[in-house]
Amino acid sequence: MDNKDRLILALAALLRAERETRGALMDALEEESISRETLLAILSDPIPIVTQEDIEFAERFALSKHLPLERNG
């Protein structure tokens, strides 16, 4: 497995975790097993799932020799 494959797997895992979290919140809301205050606290969490640092790292990695960009045209 090369760096490109590891990056793809990591991004897929991040997306899957986000979808599972969203699904769990939706289930809790539908069952009314979560208070409005708790939901507001979760939604106002200042720590984003993907940080600016993560995006910058991914961009640097994509532009590096480890993951050459394909040029069409």
Task: Tell me the per-residue pLDDT of 36-64, one tens digit each, with 9 for 90 and over.
Answer: 888 888 778 766 667 778 778 877 777 77
Global confidence as pTM: 0.50
The encoded tokens of residue 17 equal 């975790």
In the chain, the N- to C-terminal Cα span, in Å, equals 29
The pLDDT, as a whole number, for residue 73 is 44
32 phi-psi bin (left φ>0, alpha ψ -120 to 50, beta other):
left
